[in-house]
Structure 1
Amino acid sequence: MGRRPQKLELTWFNKDKALIPTETGKYGYTWVDPRDPRYCETHTLIYGEAVVGTQAPKEEGRTYSDRADLEPTDDNLLILGESGDVLEALTRVPELAEKYVGKVKCIYIDPPFNTAQTFANYEDNLEHSIWLTMMRDRLIHLRRLLSDEGSIWVHLDDVENHRMRVLMDEVFGAENFKAEVVWQKADSPRSDARGFSSDHDVIMVYGRSVSTRLKRMERTAVENARFSNPDNDQLGAWWDGDPTAPGASTHQGMVYAIQHPITGHLVYPAPGRHWTFGQTDVLDIMRGWAPYELRQIDDAEERARRCGVALEEVRKDVPAIVLGIPLDEARLAARKRLADGDWPTLVLRGQGGTGGIGRKAYPPAQGQPPRTWWPNTEVGHNRTAKSEIKALFPDEIPFSTPKPERLLERIIHIATEPGDIILDVFAGSGTTAAVAQKTGRRWITCELVQDTLRRFTQLRLEKVVRGEDPGGITVTAGERVDATEEGLPEGLTAEEAQKLTSLLNKAIRDSDELKSSEDIRALKARVKTRKYPDAINWRGGGAFRTARLSPSCFDYDPEVGLVVLTAAATGEVLINSIAANLNFRLTPEHPHFQGVRGSMRLAVVEGRLDRRKVDDLVAHLDADEGLTIAATEIEDGVRQYIRSLGQGCRAVHIPDDIFSYSEED
């Protein structure tokens, strides 16, 4: 038998170890055994204030998008704490796990890039193996939180991107890779760059499973502007598309003449092209204008030229589609159909229908699939993002690496629907949460550095819910679109046309003769555009709650080889910690017990547990309930005594029975 194929796996120094922070509120880690209580301890959340906003009413005379009508979300969390501990809380604390595990639709993370630079708001100089372990542990938790239809978007540059791709394959499965998006983050080269000036970041997209669902892009006003309904078509708006396709030499049976019903001219596809529809279909369509028939017209030489082949190689048995009645009668029938409307699929172009033949092209039922190249003209760049932050905090030094709101808007559109949950555990300036709030999504985000959270993240989100953030995606600038009758000259955009008109006006402003020139007027008509009004997308409203991680209750003293309690391990902090680490749901409303797991009750005793205390607690149990008593001191013989009472009762010592660990084990 041959060897079993091995899974490709990324290996690094101390991959079997775990990391714990060396200092609260900063990036800095120490290797420890994965069983170390400093790594294993589940922290709980200590909730703070709720920030509530009110949605502003609509103002008459202003334009609002559909998004402005969404109900603002109020079930949102802003957490101060280390991302790994926050993720453990979300996945292990029963109340949080029930709410979030398998329920998050989109995860976007913009982790430290590990570029060996130190920024003003966070440190970004983790060694490769530390960085990979840090990310591996977080990705495992993130995968648990993601729903089957969800996706994770990881934003990086070229320092760790190649390693992260293999790590993502390992955690999420190579089969769930969706795309590597390239974002053009720069709008100009950096003069201080050594070697290449980096213009882009990458965003890796993975699904949770084969059930992952990603949406298509919405059509823009510019895309929709070319569609109209001049004939009151029952199928809706359309635009005049090309009725031909390339490949004439291999589709000679679709290269033939169509007699125009008004001019009587024979219309052929352009050289090298053929009619899109089969001849039987074209005949049926053209009969919508006038009576037509198939007829041989001895045009093999012209058809050979159009097909790009020698005369002796062209197919000889292809008839033309010609009028079955005199031209005068056909012209009357065609003009009547022009006046009646609801024209056939093949349309008559030009003034009075005397031009060529076009084809009705309807908007696709769905938008375009998202592409992997995101230029800064579409989603913004670093300078855009810094301007957004500067507008919010004019007296502060802008956050070093914010992301533009339009970038997150696109991600959130592709990955979610209104009401879905979005998670970002590297909040930074708070762009993800701000955009999630403005687009009617629920969100959870956390930030490690208290100064960053205090000066940027929280204040920004407060401005969002209170309707005091006019920037970013709050308002969408109206798009400029084609307003000509025949369409803008090929290759000319609406923006370029408007610029041309503006420059032309400047050039002729001192000449009355040029201002009245028919040629100038004709030129302006050929490049005429119009601008849609700005659309308001966000009117404030909703709410979020602040929270912070509970302090550590357990520590490890390597000198004595024992797990010890910290000074914070008392009162409610201790109760909540014990409940979380033993997987009990808190029951603050119960007069005697602090937690419950199924039919098992939890009692936390801070002090000595003796038989009298046991009897008192057991007396309050229902007949079908068991009891776990966690105590910081247990009198001799009490463990045996409580077991003898039956009902599945037991006693556990704090901390020895919660975390029993020694480096010598």
Structure 2
Amino acid sequence: MPQLHWLTREADLAAHARVPLRTLREEPALSHGAPAPDSAPDAGLLVQGDNLQALRALLPFHAGRVRCIYIDPPYNTGSAFAHYDDGLEHATWLALMAPRLRLLREFLTEDGSIWVSIDDREGHYLKVLMDEIFGRRNFIANLTWQKRYSRENNAAIGDVHEHILVYSPDPELFKKSRNRIQADAKISRAYQNPNDDPRGPWQSISFTGAGLRANMEYPIEGPDGTIHRPPSGRHWAMLEPEYHRLRANGRIWFGRNGSGVPRVIRYLSEVEGLVPWSWWPHEEVGHTGEAKQEVNTLFGADSFDTPKPERLLQRILHIATNPGDLVLDSFLGSGTTAAVAHKMGRRWIGIEMGDHARTHCALRLRRVIDGEGGGISPAVGWQGGGAFRFCTLGPAVYDADGRIDPAVRYADLAAHVWLAETRTPLPSSDAPPGPVLGHHGGRAIALLYNGILKDRSPQGGNVLTHDVLKLLREAAPSGPLTVYGAACRLSAPALKARDVTFRQTPFDLPGRP
């Protein structure tokens, strides 16, 4: 498979593994709303910070749980963006994208998908990079979005489109689970009701198929007595008993005067939806002018240079997700993805590094929760509600010498330990009340840390002793047991006899410098 090569390629592709593990800290003053009693804790989560470090911090909690990722990274166009360095040298741009894409891949469900907006300057390089990271066979489509409708007469050739590259860990699962789009007004106009059918508008479709099939070439007598046979080289579309069933139900059309060739009636109410195309015109999903108007209404003139219209994100999230699914955008920008996901009843995580995470993204989401009526709000009947948490990056789990920072909470380290052992997030976002985190693949996993056993002495409760093991076995009485702790007082033969594997913190934890 072709690969991109640049000066720092190997280091950049491995950079995600060197990202320091950090914790998240909520700022309640910037959080907003009242979550429903049965909603997930992270129904809405806005994180301010470098997105590479933020993704690393979120991975222990959300690995394999995100149904849709949408990102709109800087395009490397040389433009002077207020919120991104969008004039990066080509190799530096690839170094920016490679580790972030490697981490993003770990968040997706098997039937999930990632959608990346890009233009022609880096689009083809991004395609090759994503082929390598996500797998060439996992490529779904290169969508073409018509971002503008007015002509640019000063250009050699007017720039009227952008690309959206789509990948999935399992294209077949994605195909089975993705949603179709609704028929638009242009298609709906093809359905009429000339005979006042109480079943509503309909259109007639062909009743023939290509090829010769002897059992599907029977004669059909029309209402006026005309005998119809399939055209040369074709056959009727179904067997004769099925034809008679449809005709008895008024589903065969012979034209207004009853002398036409038979055709099948299909009602508009039966149209399940359309398979999405790779061409997305501005009439269907909006354009840059519409997007600018949306954000200018929220933030004032010239607030963002290249926002995306809410209708574009609505189309993506409709295809890729269902209500309650988790959506992630690690280049949140003006907050469009989070706003649309919230209005559509999806859970969401948005990451932004600049101050506008506070001044723009948080403000926009507050207004959405309070019932903001712009964008897609009228189309989806949005009237407000829900909540989001605003978090920043907290301290690193490890200090410069590789020791665990004493400020790190038990819940944070528990999530990290569980991900290291299972490659899955903790079943619950809340750490268990005791040292046994749970069972995975027939093995129990326990963490002795930070006084979980109520012993606050320097090493109290963090050392595996015979008495501590007895307590652990009360929660995991049989089977293999993996214990993370500061030290172990049991001999190797004693551990083996009790089916216990001991891992020393912090030395046996991944991500340690």
TM-score by length of 1: 0.59
Give the letter aligned to residue 446 of structure 2. Answer: S
Cα pair distance change 1:111/1:150, threshold 3 Å:
same
Report the count of equivalent residues.
Answer: 469
The CA distance in 2 between the partners of 1:35 and 1:361, in whole Å, is: 56
Per the alignment, residue 329 of structure 2 pairs with 424
Contact 1:643 1:649 survives alignment (8 Å) = no
Which one-letter code corresponds to 2:162 in the other structure? D
After superposition, the Cα gap between the structure-2 partners of 1:219 and 1:74, relative to the gap in structure 1 and judged at 3 Å, is farther
CA drift of 1:461 comes to 1.1
**Could you tell me which residue of structure 2 aligns to residue 52 of structure 1?**
33
In the TM superposition, residue 226 of structure 1 has moved relative to its aligned partner by 4.6
1:241 equivalent in alignment to 2:204: yes
Which residue does 1:483 correspond to in 2?
Answer: none
Q: Residue type of the partner of 2:314?
A: E
Contact 1:595 1:601 in 2 (8 A): no
1:548 pairs with one of 385, 388, 392: 392
Give secondary structure in 2 for the equivalent of 1:603. coil
- Counterpart mapping for 1:452-531 below 5 A: 452-467=356-371, 469-476=372-379
Shift of 1:277: 3.2
Q: What is the SS of the residue equivalent to 1:471?
A: coil
Note if 1:91 corresponds to 2:59.
Answer: yes
Q: For each residue in 1:216-262, what CA deviation from the matched residue of structure 2 results, as whole angstroms up to 9, or x when unmatched?
A: 2123455445546676879x4453426577999xx9x989997762x
Deviation, 1:354, is 7.0
Name the CA shift for 1:124/1:192 in 2 (closer, same or farther; >3 Å): farther
Structure 2 CA distance for partners of 1:72 and 1:223, relative to 1, 3 Å: farther
Measure how far apart 1:47 and its partner are: 1.5
Alpha-carbon separation, structure 1, partners of 2:331 and 2:16: 26
Q: What is the aligned counterpart of 1:277 among 233, 236, 251?
A: 236
Task: Pick closer, same or farther for the CA change 1:117–1:546 going to 2, 3 Å.
Answer: same
Matched, 1:11 2:5: yes
CA contact (8 A) 1:652 1:658 kept: no
Aligned equivalent of 1:345:
252
Larger Rg: 1
Structure 1 segment 247-262 matched on structure 2, within 5 A: 261=224
Given the alignment, which residue of 100, 104, 109 partners 1:142?
A: 104
User: Does structure 1 residue 81 correspond to structure 2 residue 49?
Assistant: yes
Letter in 2 for 1:599: A
Is the alpha carbon distance of 1:51 and 1:276 closer, same or farther for their aligned partners in structure 2, counting shifts above 3 Å? farther
Distance 1:368 1:181, change over 3 A: same
SS of the equivalent of 1:85 reads helix
CA distance in 2, matches of 1:373, 1:287: 35
In the TM superposition, what whole-angstrom CA distance separates every residue of 1:282-304 from its partner, at most 9, and x where no partner exists?
9x76997xxxxxxxxxxxxxxxx
After superposition, the CA RMSD in angstroms is: 4.8
Residue 572, structure 1, aligned to residue 404, structure 2: no
Determine helix, strand or coil for the equivalent of 2:106: helix
Give 2:116's match in structure 1, choosing from 147, 151, 154: 154
User: 1:9-65: CA deviations, max 9, x gaps?
Assistant: 22221112249xxxxxxxxxxxxx9599xx43101111122411699xxxxxxxxxx
Please list, as runs of the form range in 1=range in 2, the aligned pairs for 1:63-462 lying within 5 A after superposition.
Answer: 75-92=43-60, 96=61, 100-190=62-152, 193=155, 195-209=156-170, 210-213=172-175, 214-220=178-184, 223-224=187-188, 226-227=190-191, 236-237=199-200, 239-241=202-204, 261=224, 277=236, 343=250, 345-349=252-256, 353=257, 356=260, 359-363=263-267, 365-393=271-299, 395-450=300-355, 452-462=356-366
* Cα deviation 1:625-644 (Å, max 9, x = unaligned): 46623xxxxxxxxx7x9678
2-side partners of 1:132 and 1:465: how far apart? Answer: 36
Matches of 2:305 and 2:196, distance apart in 1: 54
- Matches of 2:40 and 2:502, distance apart in 1: 47
Deviation at 1:208, TM superposition (A): 1.0
Distance 1:402 1:163, change over 3 A: same
Deviations along 1:164-220, one digit per CA (max 9) or x if unpaired, are 111111111111111100000112134564x33311100011111142232221234
Deviation per CA, 1:121-168: give whole Å up to 9, x if none.
222122222222322211221111101111111110011111111111
Asked if 2 retains the 8 angstrom alpha-carbon contact of 1:104 and 1:150, the reply is yes
Q: Residue type matched to 1:176 in 2?
A: N
Three-state SS of the structure 1 residue aligned to 2:157 is: coil
Q: Which moved more, 1:409-418 or 1:618-627?
A: 618-627
Q: Deviations over 1:556-594 (max 9, x none)?
A: 6xxxxxx489xxx96535877766766698998979x89
Change (3 A) 1:212 1:126: same
Unpaired runs of 5+ residues, structure 2, are 420-425, 439-443, 473-482, 496-500
Q: Distance in 2 between matches of 1:382 and 1:347?
A: 47
Q: How far apart are the structure 1 equivalents of 2:157 and 2:307?
A: 22
Identity %: 33
Separation in 2, partners of 1:425, 1:112: 12
Taking the aligned partners of 2:223 and 2:430, their CA distance within structure 1 comes to 83
Shift of 1:375: 0.6
